[in-house]
Structures are given as structure tokens and as C-alpha cells.
């Protein structure tokens, strides 16, 4: 019988702790919200999903960030600022999150309220005591980053990511020994051993669970400062003085020039870790621990987990395609269509409904084509995955390594040719789009707006197609047509990425919802809940 590696045994023990934490605890008071108010709030959150769409695993934290920002902006932070009394901020925050369906009703312990308030007080202390040059709330990027870190900590205290963190630590321990960095990189000063570990840690989080920038930043803080979660008042004051430096250092870590190389390796080999995690989470860990000792039984478990994840992935991709398309229409395209209508009225004096219909239909068909042509990994991929799971689960004498090498230096002529090729591809691709629309009589304003539509959809669709390779370990084959496609489509996707980043920064629809609807709606939902409690009390009196 094969012997499990020490790292796998540690992972199994962590999953046992996770399963034990899920068991209901007797005598623990939980937080309850009114069901009617909850339905109203949950409906609003669904509308917000369309307005400010993100991937499913990011939606809850996005809501926490949004609601925390609203509360922090209402606090006048200076040296005389006092902590909110009676856990006021934490209680209203948790109640609002439960009403919105982000956490289950009657499941969160009441003790979590004081724990969340303690976290909020910590970040108020940090904001109070940071150097004067960074105290201004006009320093939006830093302020937003700090609120995002606070949101991550709040989410973790309410519902800890025990299982996910265990798998990240497991892969991190293995990848630290497997990923080797060329001596030339170390000698050039581009990377230190500490930097290497940090880059592996970042890449694993992005590859395994598609953690976003705030979550990766929060985990990096915990990694670099182990006392962060339980910091003493003295340590919090010390952190406050250095928080801006911490922020800048993490920003540098996340944008390191070699980060993509680490991510490519971790993304390629993350499937075995995901499947092993699925196997341990599927049943009683005690029972699974005995079953996986037999390689034949483990192989059956891998096949079952692989099929289940493939099925889940397919439905998740379809949902992502629908939501991202609707979100692009409601936020970006709706505003651009409005602009097109105004321009048409101003320039020609009438509307061409056929052209407006094409503006809606073309991006939809493009997204449908991008998603419907996704190909599942070959049967050979499953065999590779089974072997990779065996390699990480059991004790092995020989360890495979993956090397990070420096980029080959290109001469001026090589750079010039590549740039010329990219420019030629951009001219051809945009030229073809222009020619296609112009031949059907579209005016220049409609053509420009349609190019924007297509670029946004191409970027979103390509991101979904990348997610479809979550289970792929085998190398992707690229032929001549794929090469030509890259030359023609990369400029369009580049524009889509740039537009998406800019839109995320200046999302007028989201800003409108935050300023004009979020707060009044929250007050309205709280009123419904209080009114229903009042009615219940009167009924009890009668």
C-alpha cells in the first residue's frame, strides 16, 4: 500500500477541522432577519449583480466592500474619532448582508457581531493614525484598498475560508520545492528568494480560486505579518505608521515583471490540487483517508471528481456568459446606445431601427459564438490528471521541477518587426470591421460604437474561454489559423481590456446606484423589518 506524503496528511487533518466546524453548535444564538425584508433585499442584490457584475465567488465580497465604504465615508475620521457604541456598524452591516442573501439566515452566531466590530475598530484606528500625508480621503486608491482589506477580513471572520486556505497552503508547500528560478534572474537582482516565495503564493491563489486583487493582498498581509488578525493595540499603532509602505510594497509584488511566468506554471498544474480538494470535501474525511491509500480506489475517486467538476464548470461558464453579456448591455452598451440615438437625432434627424437592432444583435451573437465553440479537454487529459494527483498525494523520491527563465532579449530590429506585425494586425482587424459595417450603410458614429461593443464582448468572452481550461493540464495545441487569429484579434481584445479597466474605474451606473439607491433602499428594507416586528408584537398583545 502506497504511503501518503506528509503534506497530504496535514491537508487531510485541516479538512477534518473544516468538516467539524460545519457541525451545528448547540446553545449558540444566531442572527435572524425578517423573511419578507430579506426577499426584497435579495431581489435588489440580483439587480446589482447585473449592474456591477463580477464572477460568482467575488459577488459577496463586492457587496461587503460597497456597504463598508458607505459606512466609513459617513465617519469623520480624526484624532478625536471615537469607536461606534454597541457594535452599531457591525450589527447593521451583518443584518444587511444576511437580508441580501450573502449569508444564510439563522446561521451566523451573534458573537460574530462583536468580532466584526473589533475588525472595523482596528481599521478606524489605522485611518486615525496614518501619517498626515495619507489621511486625506481624496487619496482614493489607498483608501479604497484599505476598505477592501477590511472587507476581506470581515468576510473571513463571518465565514472562514478554512478549506480554500488549506489547499492554498498545500500547493504552496509543494510548489516552493518544484518551481526553480534561473540563476541569471537571481544574479540580475530582479528577484530574491523571498520574492520568489511571494510570487508563488500570489500565483497559486490566482490559479486555484481566481482570487482577485483585494483577496490576494489580504492574504499577502497575513503571510508577511502573521500577527495581523490578532494585533495588539500597540502593534496596530505601529502598522498605522507603515501602512502606506505596506500598500506600496504589495502593489509592487502584484505587478512584478515575472508574475505571469509564475502564474502560467501554477495555472497549468492546479487541476490535481482542485480535484484532491474536491475528493476530501465530498464525503467524510475519515472514510476518504482510508480509501485514497489504495491507488486503484483513488483513481476512481479522481474520475468521479473530474466529471463532477467538468459538469459544474460548464454550467458556471454558461451563467458567466449570460450575466457578463447582460451586464455589458445594461451598463456599457445602454449608455452608448443612448449616445448613438442622440447623435443620430442630431446628425440625421431620424433613427434607423435596423441599425440599432444590429447594435444589440451582433455583440450577443459574438458572445454566443465564443462560448458555444469552447472545446472540452481531450480524453488524454484525464489520464495526465490522474498521474499528477498520484504524484502530489503520495510520497515520491523524485521531484519534478519547473524552471522560470528570463525572457530572451530582443534586438531593436526584432522589437520593430513585432510592433509592426501588431500594428498591421490592428489595421487589418479594425479595417475589416469598418468595411463590414460601412458596406451596410452604417454611419461612422455607429461603426465606432460597434467597434467598442465588439471589443468589450471579445475581452469578456476570451476571459470565459480561459476559465474553460480549468481542468486542462495538457498543452494547448496552436496551429497556423490560431497564429493568424492571435495577430488579428489581440488588438481588439487589448482595446476591450483597456475599456473594461477604465469602465471599472469610472462605472457611472454603479456610482449612480451607490449614491442614489443603495442607502435609501437599505433604510427602506430596515423600515420593512422593523414594521413587521412591530406588527408581530401587537398581534402577541392581542
pLDDT on residue 45? 67
| Sequential pLDDT tens for the chain (542 residues) | 578 889 999 999 999 989 888 887 777 888 888 777 677 766 666 666 655 656 667 788 888 998 898 888 777 766 666 667 778 889 889 988 888 888 888 889 999 999 999 999 999 999 888 887 666 654 778 888 999 999 999 999 999 989 999 999 999 999 999 999 998 888 888 899 999 999 999 999 999 999 999 999 999 999 999 999 998 889 899 988 999 999 999 999 999 999 999 999 999 999 999 999 999 988 788 888 888 888 888 899 999 999 998 888 888 777 777 777 776 666 555 655 666 666 666 666 666 667 767 777 777 778 778 777 777 788 888 899 999 999 898 877 677 889 888 877 777 787 788 788 888 888 988 899 889 888 887 778 778 878 888 888 888 788 878 877 888 887 777 666 777 777 788 888 888 888 777 666 555 445 555 555 565 656 556 656 666 655 665 565 55
Report d(CA 530, CA 99) in Å as an integer.
Answer: 13
Nearest to 306 by CA among 397, 383, 250: 383
pLDDT on residue 39? 72
Going through 93-176 in order, the beta strands assigned E by DSSP cover: none
Report d(CA 337, CA 449) in Å as an integer.
Answer: 8
Report d(CA 521, CA 374) in Å as an integer.
Answer: 40
pLDDT on residue 302? 92
Query: Left, alpha or beta for 87 (phi > 0: left; psi -120 to 50: alpha)?
Result: left
pLDDT on residue 533? 58
C-alpha cell at 101: 442573501
Q: Are strands 402-404 and 179-181 parallel, antiparallel or unpaired?
A: parallel
Single pTM value for the model: 0.83
pLDDT on residue 216? 96
What is the Cβ-side half-sphere exposure of residue 179, based on CA atoms within 13 angstroms? 29
Report d(CA 363, CA 289) in Å as an integer.
Answer: 49
Q: What is the number of other CB atoms lying within 10 angstroms of the CB of residue 121?
A: 16
Report d(CA 539, CA 533) in Å as an integer.
Answer: 10
C-alpha cell at 523: 433604510
CB 472 within 8 A of CB 270: no
CB 507 within 8 A of CB 415: no
Helix (H) or strand (E) holding 402, with range, is strand 402-404
DSSP 8-class letter at 3: -
Amino acid at each position: 500500500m502506497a504511503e501518503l506524503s506528509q503534506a497530504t496528511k496535514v491537508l487531510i487533518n485541516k479538512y477534518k477541522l473544516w468538516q467539524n466546524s460545519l457541525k451545528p453548535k448547540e446553545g449558540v444564538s444566531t442572527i435572524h432577519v425578517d423573511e419578507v425584508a430579506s426577499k426584497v433585499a435579495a431581489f435588489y442584490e440580483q439587480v446589482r449583480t447585473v449592474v456591477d457584475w463580477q464572477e460568482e465567488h467575488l459577488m459577496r465580497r463586492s457587496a461587503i466592500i460597497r456597504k463598508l465604504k458607505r459606512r466609513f465615508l459617513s465617519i469623520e475620521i480624526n484624532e478625536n474619532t471615537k469607536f461606534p457604541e454597541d457594535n452599531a456598524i457591525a450589527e447593521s452591516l451583518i443584518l444587511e448582508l444576511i437580508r441580501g442573501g450573502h449569508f444564510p439566515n439563522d446561521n451566523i452566531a451573534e458573537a460574530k457581531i462583536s468580532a466584526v466590530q473589533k475588525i472595523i475598530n482596528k481599521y478606524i484606528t489605522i485611518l486615525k493614525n496614518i501619517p498626515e500625508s495619507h489621511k486625506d480621503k481624496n487619496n482614493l486608491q489607498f483608501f479604497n484598498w484599505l476598505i477592501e482589506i477590511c472587507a476581506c477580513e470581515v468576510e473571513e471572520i463571518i465565514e472562514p475560508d478554512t478549506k480554500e486556505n488549506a489547499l492554498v497552503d498545500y500547493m504552496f508547500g509543494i510548489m516552493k520545492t518544484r518551481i526553480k528560478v534561473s540563476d541569471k534572474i537571481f544574479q540580475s537582482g530582479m528577484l530574491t528568494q523571498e520574492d520568489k516565495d511571494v510570487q508563488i503564493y500570489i500565483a497559486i491563489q490566482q490559479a486555484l480560486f481566481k482570487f482577485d486583487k483585494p483577496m490576494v493582498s489580504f492574504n499577502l498581509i497575513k503571510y508577511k505579518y502573521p500577527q495581523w488578525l490578532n494585533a495588539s493595540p500597540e502593534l496596530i499603532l505601529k502598522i498605522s505608521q507603515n501602512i502606506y509602505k505596506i500598500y506600496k510594497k504589495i502593489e509592487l509584488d502584484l505587478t512584478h515583471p515575472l508574475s505571469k511566468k509564475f502564474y502560467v506554471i501554477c495555472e497549468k498544474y492546479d487541476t490535481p490540487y482542485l480535484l484532491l480538494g474536491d475528493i476530501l470535501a465530498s464525503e467524510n474525511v475519515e472514510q476518504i483517508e482510508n480509501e485514497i491509500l489504495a491507488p486503484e480506489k483513488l483513481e476512481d475517486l479522481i474520475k468521479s471528481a473530474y466529471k463532477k467538476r467538468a459538469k459544474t464548470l460548464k454550467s458556471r461558464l454558461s451563467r458567466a456568459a449570460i450575466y457578463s453579456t447582460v451586464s455589458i448591455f445594461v451598463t456599457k452598451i445602454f449608455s452608448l446606445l443612448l449616445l448613438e440615438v442622440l447623435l443620430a437625432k442630431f446628425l440625421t434627424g431620424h433613427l434607423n431601427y435596423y441599425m440599432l437592432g444590429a447594435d444589440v444583435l451582433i455583440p450577443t451573437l459574438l458572445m454566443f459564438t465564443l462560448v458555444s465553440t469552447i472545446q472540452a479537454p481531450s480524453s488524454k487529459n484525464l489520464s495526465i490528471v490522474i498521474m499528477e494527483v498520484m504524484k502530489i498525494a503520495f510520497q515520491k523520491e523524485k521531484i519534478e521541477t519547473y524552471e522560470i527563465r528570463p525572457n530572451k532579449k530582443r534586438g531593436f530590429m526584432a522589437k520593430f518587426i513585432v510592433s509592426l506585425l501588431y500594428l498591421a494586425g490592428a489595421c487589418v482587424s479594425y479595417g475589416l470591421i469598418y468595411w463590414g459595417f460601412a458596406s451596410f450603410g452604417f454611419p461612422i458614429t455607429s461603426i465606432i460604437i460597434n467597434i467598442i461593443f465588439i471589443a468589450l464582448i471579445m475581452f469578456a468572452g476570451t476571459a470565459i474561454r480561459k476559465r474553460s481550461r480549468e481542468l486542462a493540464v495538457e498543452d494547448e495545441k496552436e496551429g497556423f489559423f490560431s497564429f493568424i487569429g492571435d495577430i488579428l484579434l489581440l488588438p481588439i481584445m487589448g482595446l476591450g481590456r483597456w475599456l473594461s479597466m477604465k469602465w471599472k474605474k469610472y462605472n457611472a451606473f454603479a456610482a449612480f446606484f451607490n449614491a442614489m439607491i443603495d442607502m435609501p433602499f437599505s433604510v427602506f428594507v430596515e423600515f420593512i423589518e422593523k414594521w413587521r416586528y412591530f406588527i408581530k408584537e401587537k398581534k402577541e398583545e392581542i
